[in-house]
Amino acid sequence: MPDTLHEPVIAMEGVLRPTRLEVDLDALADNLAAIRRRVGAVDVMPVLKANAYGHGLVAVGRLMQALGVPCIGLAYLEEGIRLRRAGVDTPILVLGGILGSQIPAFLEHDLTLTASSVDKLRAIEDCAATTGRRARVHLKIDTGMERIGVHWYSAETLLEESLRCRHVEVEGIFTHLANADAADPGHARLQLERFAEVLSFYDRRGLPRPRCHAANSGGVLQLPESWLDMVRPGILMYGVFPSSEVARTVPVRPALTWTSRVVYFKVVRPHSPVSYGSTWAPDRLTRIVTVPVGYGDGYMRSMSGQAQVLIRGRRYPVVGRICMDQLMVDIGWDSAYNDDEVVLLGARGDQRVTVEELATWAGTIPYEVLTNINTRVPRVYVGRWAERLGLTRAG
């Protein structure tokens, strides 16, 4: 079933704009396999929020379903609805906070809710009772993130309330680690101690625990004690490590190659400024090529004066301010022609532009770089899994 809501899932060669994002689904499948090997018998719930970290929610959701994951993690209700409308019937846990008015839609689309307070749990119970549907929830415990969830020191009230619910099935209970990717895992271990204290509620009453989970990408990499019943890898699934400090214990590889093409070539005289604000001008006669990509696509303006791209396997600087829809590259006195490929992210030959480099140039983190590549950029899916899922056909 084609996804008609936001993203182009399949691309017709020669029709789409020259700026595109190539997504290697085989790399994603290999990354999931590597994470599964790392955690052994523990379940893996890949997190596909923010358009699957820029890789395309529907296509990656279909891949995860085909690979038999037990659950998919998302941030928002509308992401879950998109996957359901695209035919993905794998269990879906929406990890973010909810409004009471959204609960009927969760139940209608068979999505699992996060119950982050007593009041929200009661609202879910009341809605389920009224509609005659059974709700599934995971209880959220805040052990040191201060985002959503009941504090660990007052969590017993939520757990007691969950035992009184007759129309809610408590499938799981979880917390989120704020510093699992740090060189010093002390705070993460403190959070795990607090979470264990909460979980003792079930042991004291002789009750079976719901499915317990805490580990994000950092936890998967360097905190085996955080794996519990299930892990929630996010950025690691996409072949990117969550920080430069974290132990790299899982062999993953990036799945994205972001390219465009040269659409204009000109010779620029010395001291003739390039782009808005006239912030840069060459000090010698030089050749400038224009590329049809800019901050309107997620190639961030803050990389102006820092970024580099690959043309014909060589690195060249992006010069002047990056525009909404275009950027300029100084190729010196080298040759480039209209329609030459420009690699913004990825490898050609022995040269590679990494997401970590883009993050450094932009003064941000790899997460923001990936999720900023917006849906104006067509996604083109490649690899054996793209063929199996029918994502390489023109249409």
The one catalytic residue in 153, 264, 276, 337 is: 276
Q: Which amino acid is at 206?
A: G
Residue 7: its H or E element: none
Tokens standing for 314?
Answer: 């060589």
Separation CA 67–CA 58 (nearest Å): 14
Burial of 205 (0-12, 13-18, 19+ CB in 10 A): exposed
Helix axes 77-85, 57-66, angle to 10 degrees: 70
Tokens standing for 281?
Answer: 């001008």
Known catalytic membership, residue 276 = yes
Structural contact between residues 124 and 115, judged by C-beta atoms closer than 8 angstroms: yes
Residue 227: its H or E element: none
Separation CA 23–CA 385 (nearest Å): 11
Separation CA 3–CA 79 (nearest Å): 12
The residue to which tokens 């970590």 are assigned? 356
Separation CA 110–CA 84 (nearest Å): 9
Structural contact between residues 11 and 20, judged by C-beta atoms closer than 8 angstroms: yes
Integer CA distances (angstroms), 328 to 303, 331, 342, in order: 12, 10, 11
Integer CA distances (angstroms), 294 to 33, 368, 374, in order: 35, 15, 11
Known catalytic membership, residue 264 = no
Tokens standing for 377?
Answer: 């950029």
Structural contact between residues 279 and 353, judged by C-beta atoms closer than 8 angstroms: no
Tokens standing for 97?
Answer: 């906070």
> What φ, ψ does residue 90 adopt, rounded to 5°?
-60, 145
Structural contact between residues 61 and 3, judged by C-beta atoms closer than 8 angstroms: no
The one catalytic residue in 49, 238, 299, 316 is: 49
* Residues with catalytic function: 49, 276
